[in-house]
Amino acid sequence: MSVKARALPESLRFLLLAFLVLWVVLAAFPFLWTLWGSFKVEGDFFSKASWSLALTGDLTRVETGGSFTGEGYEGAWIQEEFWRSVLNTTIVCFCVVTISLTLSTLGGYALSRSNHNYAFWLLIIALMFRAMPPITLVSGYLLPFYEWNLWGRLSTTIVVLVAINQPFSLWMLTSFFRNIPKDLDESAMVDGCNRFQAFRHVIIPVMWPGVITTGLFSFLLAYNDFAVTAMLLEKDNQTMIPKIASFLGTTQTKGNVMFAVAAVISATAPLFVLILFFQRQIVSGLTAGAVKG
Amino acid sequence: MLLLIAFPIGSVIMQSLYAQHEQVIEIVENCGPFGCTKEAAVNTEATQELRDAQPLGRFVGLENYLNRGHLAVSELAEAWRLSDSWGDYGNRIMNLPFYSAIIFTLTFTFIVTPMAIGLGFAIAIAVNSASKVLRGPLIFVSLLPFIINPLVGSLVLFWMVDARGVLGHGLQWLTSDPDLSVKASTPLMWIMLMIYGVWHTAPFAFVVFYAGLQTVNQDTNEAAMIDGANRWQRVRYVTIPHIMPLVTFVALIQIMDNFRVFEPLVSFSAGAHATSLSYYIYSDLGGETRLLNSAAATSVLTIICVGILLSPVLVRTWRDFKRA
């Protein structure tokens, strides 16, 4: 009976379908539109005459000869040296993820196996950090960093980002390790392993799902951060996001808006790939906190 | 680690009690053929020396909090005295930077959060009733606005609503006003920012609710059906109570996230129409004159606001913890 009873009436099914289509368009259309537009010239993408020029690309054909042009990308990557900030972003993200995962795997394992109940305080600190705008912290860092001459270095930024990220990833991994039964490492220790060997041979092989999820979120934090990197880095070692912001601020002359459009697409592409491969982990990470309370 | 966390907060509080040194002013006498004139001139060297000696600035106590840029106590009192109606009073308050920032931040938070939760729930129900093959791609597309960098995401939208972009043209066509520009109008800018906020945060609510919908007890659902509940009643009395704890969780996370709204203001270059607390700090820190002390005072006030917002949650968590 259940299959037939649960089947939706035609009208409702149509309504839901229409709603879904609307949402998909809302979610995806801006990206597709910008991707398409990034291969045009400014006169087409920002057209006073008619919006359809962006589709047909009349001015692009007049100015460059072809229907698509890579000028925006060329200008952004080579002329404005966007590749340099891509490199910086890679360094920052890699370091932040490695350092914060190392610290929080070891710390999280220790916390989950200790008898004291740190969980509450950890949760509170993680919550506070989630709630506090990072920029309030940055304004506290700035003056001491000037004084100690630490300002404007990638390493400083990495340390700050790790610190901001740490409570959250520590909390996530602690609750993950709690779900690995204690019996597992206890039986290993009965078999003659010491604490470290138990961790090395028993826990490490089973911990990857949790570590990957936590790593993804650390990566997103480092990749998406604007407040910290914009304030703490100098012009010549900026990461991608502040670089895009500086495209906007300084140069609104002809053509340069298209550099920003191209840079935006370049910065989005890695995230696209990321969701494509790690959708399951992202979803499970987002819901993990909710299910546990 | 704790050092890196506690230290900036301490540093912010310290800085907020100081103000920049005033410039050292000397009276210089200029004697020319037509007699002598006295002029006030800035002694740059002496100023620099003073600044180097005490980088924190001079100690002013709570003055930073009370001046025009922040709590503006005297301005508030004066506005109260001069204004003849509530509307007038409101207008005067909106001219004070700290109050306009906090009003925007709170409006943004409390309008965007419920709307995003509602939209997220609707999407979750719709996706849940779609066929299994479609669900994967649907989730993929839905995650896009959420995972995307806020600065980049809002830029993409901003270019589209630009007077020369596709949505901008659409708006002009809808209102049949060819000069309409979102950039130029404060209410439109606020609405645009909030639409962006809902667009950006609804996917998170969707993902959490969707996971919750998978665990709805089908027996209860069938029992309700046998008791004669129609489709809407089943959603209202079976599904919604089931995911109510999730709603609290999502609301908490979203209030925190929306309270620190910042990046869209940068990429919409909305500074003239709307400022949030984070943006106010950012604009103090950036620019030619780095107003570190002013930014620090705002930071402390922001932290206090966050504390007030979170306090009910903290108290409840503490009680749960005690009971457990």
Give the CATH number for residue B137: 1.10.3720.10
Q: Give A252's pLDDT tier (boundaries 50, 70, 90).
A: low
Whether residues B283 and B300 share a domain: the answer is yes
Interface contact flag, A20 B11, Cβ < 8 Å: no
Residue B3 lies in a domain: no
Single-letter residue type at A256? N
Residue A226 lies in a domain: yes
Summarize the confidence of residues A182-209 as an average pLDDT. 84
Residue B100 has pLDDT above 60, yes or no: yes
Residue that terminates a domain, selected from B95, B130, B159: B95
Residue B150 lies in a domain: yes
Say yes or no: A45 contacts chain B, CB-CB below 8 A. yes
Whether residues B240 and B201 share a domain: the answer is yes
Domain count, chain A: 1
Q: Residues 148..167 of A with a Cβ closer than 8 Å to B: which?
A: 159-160, 163, 166-167
Chain B: residue whose CA lies nearest to A216: B147
pLDDT at residue number A98: 92
Whether residues B197 and B290 share a domain: the answer is yes
What range defines the domain where residue A255 resides? Answer: 88-292
pLDDT at residue number B12: 66
Chain B residues whose CB is inside 8 A of the A131 CB are 256, 259-260, 306, 309-310
What range defines the domain where residue B140 resides? Answer: 97-323
Chain B: residue whose CA lies nearest to A43: B164
Indicate the burial class of B12 (C-beta count within 10 angstroms; 0-12, 13-18, 19 or more).
Answer: buried
Interface contact flag, A133 B277, Cβ < 8 Å: yes
Helices (H), chain B: 2-16, 44-53, 63-66, 73-82, 86-94, 97-128, 132-147, 150-161, 166-175, 186-214, 218-226, 231-234, 240-259, 263-267, 277-285, 292-323
Residue B9 lies in a domain: no
Pair B208, B166: CB distance under 8 Å: no
What is the SS3 assignment for B165? coil
Helix axes A154-178, A208-224, angle to 10 degrees: 150
Residue A139 lies in a domain: yes
Residue B8 lies in a domain: no
Highest mean pLDDT among A16-30, A132-146, B69-83: A16-30
Whether residues B88 and B210 share a domain: the answer is no
Distance, in Å, from the CA atom of B154 to the CA atom of A94, rounded to the nearest integer, reads: 26
Query: What DSSP element (H or E) covers B36?
Result: strand B35-42
Whether residues B158 and B210 share a domain: the answer is yes
- Closest partner residue to B144 among A31, A127, A286, by Cβ? A31
Residue B266 lies in a domain: yes
Q: Give A97's pLDDT tier (boundaries 50, 70, 90).
A: very high
We report the CATH number of the domain holding residue A262 as 1.10.3720.10
Whether residues B155 and B176 share a domain: the answer is yes
Summarize the confidence of residues A235-240 as an average pLDDT. 77
Query: What DSSP element (H or E) covers B31?
Result: strand B25-32
- Closest partner residue to A139 among B149, B246, B285, by Cβ? B285
Whether residues B55 and B149 share a domain: the answer is no
Q: What is the residue whose two structure tokens read 């392993």?
A: A193
Summarize the confidence of residues A118-138 as an average pLDDT. 73
Whether residues B101 and B165 share a domain: the answer is yes
Residue A49 lies in a domain: no
Query: Which one, of B152, B35, B81, B225, lies nearest residue A35 by Cα?
Result: B152
Domain count, chain B: 2
Residue B16 lies in a domain: no
Whether residues B137 and B61 share a domain: the answer is no
Residue B165 lies in a domain: yes
Mean pLDDT is lowest, of A252-266, A272-286, B34-48, B77-91, for: B34-48
Mean pLDDT is lowest, of B46-60, B201-215, B306-320, for: B46-60
Tokens of B267: 């990429």
Whether residues B311 and B243 share a domain: the answer is yes
Residue A24 lies in a domain: no
